[in-house]
Amino acid sequence: MSEKNPEFGTPQMSFATFLLRLIAGSVGGVLGSLVILLIFVLASSILDPLTAGTPLDSVSPIFIFILLIMIFLGSTIGNILSSWLLALTERGRYIRISSSIYQIFIINLIIFIILAPVYFLTSSLNLGITAYVVALHIVLSAQVSALILEIVSNPRHALVGVYGTTFSILLSTAALFILSGIVENPRILLFGALPIVWGSIAFVGGIFTILYGWVARTYDRDFLSSRTDYGDDYGKKEEVKIKKAKDEVGAEFLRHN
């Protein structure tokens, strides 16, 4: 394994930045939920089956269409705002914010297109299954958005973001399942999913960054840097440099002779 002396560029986070990160993620999720709430209020008569226990045979395709658009707009806006606000809390760490936002919008649009047939299919089978599709849509789009932010804006330590995002998604998914078993009103989950997921991404990601920075500085190894080599990759860069140097010396020798 390579990449010693990780002090330069090793992820570090102060407590103030951690709090700002937590607020940024939660605010972005709340704003996304407000979009969902606004559409829900405007189309409450159509979306009544979501909470009123309407028989399945009376659920119209318009209901699924409005539900799909509502989740798409709410999750996309929430994901973009949360990613943007998180990036603003650490401008030195996230360097390509505009490119990240562009990619986040594209992937959310792709997820929308892929899941659209699933919404209509599950609604014809069981409306309860559609609720799980909604949860999948919100969690998956948030996870992918957070990963894109880390990979595009923070390429050197993208793995730190990948680990933190993965742990946070596991935690938020468990929290949503627990809430679904405790709370009988699905509206609480519908409006609370985005703040829970993005709050978890901000919280767990911040904790993981702090712990990893401490470990890397303690052991003088940047374990999760993209420049760190493991296994068979270790030493290959040095071998290539040596071979290239020998070729260049040989070329210079032939030129001069």
Exposed e or buried b for every residue in 180-202, given b needs 16+ CB within 10 A? eeeeeeeeebbbbbbbbbbbbbb
Amino acid (1-letter code) at residue 187? R
CA torsion 148→154→155→156, rounded to 10°? -150
- For 155-195, the pLDDT digits (tens) are 778 888 899 999 999 999 999 888 877 876 667 778 889 99
Q: With contact defined as beta carbons under 8 Å apart, do 123 and 59 qualify?
A: yes
Q: How far apart are CA 27 and CA 34, in angstroms?
A: 10
Q: Which 8-state DSSP code applies to residue 107?
A: H
Residue 3 Rama label (left phi>0; alpha psi -120 to 50; beta): left
Three-state DSSP at 211 gives helix
Over residues 189-202, the mean pLDDT reads 90
pLDDT for the residue 156: 78
Which range among 24-28, 171-175, 248-252 shows the weakest confidence by mean pLDDT? Answer: 248-252
- 202: number of CA atoms within 13 Å, CB side? 31
Residue 160 Rama label (left phi>0; alpha psi -120 to 50; beta): alpha
Average model confidence (pLDDT) across the chain: 81
Q: Of 110, 113, 112, 86, which Cα lies nearest the Cα of 97? A: 86
- For 90-119, the pLDDT digits (tens) are 888 888 889 999 999 999 999 999 999 998
Q: How far apart are CA 157 and CA 95, in angstroms?
A: 12
pLDDT for the residue 26: 93
Residue percentage of the chain with pLDDT more than 70: 76
pLDDT band of 251, cuts 50, 70, 90: low
- For 118-146, the pLDDT digits (tens) are 988 887 777 777 888 888 899 999 999 99
pLDDT for the residue 182: 81
Name the pTM for this structure.
Answer: 0.81
Q: How far apart are CA 47 and CA 222, in angstroms?
A: 51
Amino acid (1-letter code) at residue 116? A
CB atoms within 10 A of CB 12: 17
Question: Above 70 in pLDDT, residue 5?
Answer: no
